[in-house]
Structure 1
Amino acid sequence: MKKFPSLKNHMLIAMPALQDFNFKHSVTLICEHNEDGAMGIVINHPLDFATYELLEHMDIPCAEHRNINPVFAGGPVQVDRGFVIHRAEQLWKSSIALENNVAVTTSLDVLHAIGRHEIGSDAFVALGYAGWEAGQLEQEIIDNVWLTVPINSEIIFSTDIDKRWEKAVSLLGFDAQNLSNFSGHA
């Protein structure tokens, strides 16, 4: 199989033909990608409850309900595991700093900081993640399941959730309506 460069610090854009409800029109932030596989978090599939509701459920004090960001379905693997995607201006106990001022944290201290409003609206929680075995993501890219673009903090933090897929596609220089379900291979 062809060796691919690491896609860590990239976003995957689901092609229109991908109909799996976990990934349909998804944008996935790739947090790790190496010879053992890949791990990413879907950043545009909101669940029907807000961050403050999750904090209350976890008995984490929340001063006010100012953080009404939705909790996201981060992927189908370990859906009971939470990830906080936030700006990397401050890192926490288990933060992974990505490019373009983006970080992912899994420790409880960041959730307490959200409850105390020490982190602004540029932070959201995702439950679960997407995982690929060694070579699986590379094959899916060859099979025209995904497009890739470098990580973009504007899409992650400043673009309306329902516009993130279209905005990510536009980074490639064309309109999402022009995407085809077919690809050519030379």
Structure 2
Amino acid sequence: MQGFQNHFLIAMPALDDPMFKRSVTYVCEHNDEGAMGIVINHPLPVSVADLLKQLEITFDADSPVASSQVCAGGPVQSDRGFVLHTAKPGYHSSMPLENGLMVTTSKDILMDLTTAAAPEKFILALGYAGWTAGQLEQEIADNSWLVVPADNHIIFDLIHAEKWQSATAAIGIKPWQLTNEAGHA
């Protein structure tokens, strides 16, 4: 099953759960057992520097990365960091994804984030979104999500506030065109 891996889940307007309202979730993994993704556009009031300080990790306060915001990646394991990044092997716990991306959960990547050794582009998120077998498919059938191919430009190059509209625009849809009604043939 190819599934929805390397796709965005764009929250439909009717999805009013605060964790997912107007969210764009990058699907890292999707198989018969369920799915795992990281919300890429819900910034927390916490900077990378704040988090590194809290974890007692030395960092370069002058790095532009230090002031970037950490995202709320989802409600599962929200006390654990997940770094979605451009491919850079060598970390203790990385999962290669499609489209030149990886997700790393080990502390060693955090030590690199404000240095020249950091991956070229990354998003640091606390927590992830998870679905049990068949749950994501049912939510899509219920019109909670619009599924579109992922785009690294949207993940890394846009400010968080632009990602939801840009992801819908990538397939030629304007947000006002989205409806709460599901159509089934």
Give TM class, smaller chain: over 0.9
| Superposition map of 1:100-115 within 5 A | 100-115=99-114
Match of 1:93 in 2: 92
1:183 pairs with 2:182: yes
1:78 pairs with 2:94: no
How far does residue 160 in structure 1 lie from its aligned partner after superposition? 1.4
How far does residue 29 in structure 1 lie from its aligned partner after superposition? 0.8
1:56-83 residue CA offsets vs partner (Å, 9 max, x unmatched): 1101100224211101100011111110
Rate the CA distance shift 1:35–1:57 in 2: closer, same or farther, 3 A. Answer: same
The one of 15, 19, 28 equivalent to 2:16 is 19
1:35 pairs with 2:38: no
Match of 2:6 in 1: 9
Code of the aligned partner of 2:137: E
Code of the aligned partner of 1:37: G
Match of 1:129 in 2: 128
Rate the CA distance shift 1:116–1:20 in 2: closer, same or farther, 3 A. Answer: same
How far does residue 95 in structure 1 lie from its aligned partner after superposition? 1.5
Residues 40 and 123 in structure 2, CA contact (< 8 A), matched pair in contact too: no
Query: Please, which runs of 5 or more residues in structure 2 have no aligned partner?
Result: none
1:140 pairs with 2:148: no
Query: Please, which runs of 5 or more residues in structure 1 have no aligned partner?
Result: none
Residues 16 and 25 in structure 1, CA contact (< 8 A), matched pair in contact too: yes
Residues 39 and 72 in structure 2, CA contact (< 8 A), matched pair in contact too: yes
The one of 44, 48, 56 equivalent to 1:47 is 44
State the distance in 1 between where 2:6 and 2:148 align. Answer: 9
How far does residue 164 in structure 1 lie from its aligned partner after superposition? 0.2
Q: Paired residues, what number?
A: 183
Tell me how large the CA RMSD over aligned residues is. Answer: 1.5
Q: Which segment is superposed worse, 34-43 or 175-184? A: 175-184
How far does residue 170 in structure 1 lie from its aligned partner after superposition? 0.9
Rate the CA distance shift 1:57–1:107 in 2: closer, same or farther, 3 A. Answer: same
Identity of aligned residues (%): 49
State the distance in 1 between where 2:86 and 2:13 align. Answer: 29
State the distance in 2 between where 1:64 and 1:29 align. Answer: 29
Q: TM-score scaled by structure 1?
A: 0.92
State the distance in 1 between where 2:155 and 2:90 align. Answer: 17
Rate the CA distance shift 1:123–1:158 in 2: closer, same or farther, 3 A. Answer: same
How far does residue 7 in structure 1 lie from its aligned partner after superposition? 0.9
State the distance in 1 between where 2:150 and 2:91 align. Answer: 21
The one of 51, 56, 61 equivalent to 1:59 is 56
* SS of equivalent residue, structure 1 residue 165: helix
How far does residue 94 in structure 1 lie from its aligned partner after superposition? 1.6
* SS of equivalent residue, structure 1 residue 118: coil
Residues 69 and 121 in structure 1, CA contact (< 8 A), matched pair in contact too: no
Code of the aligned partner of 2:184: H
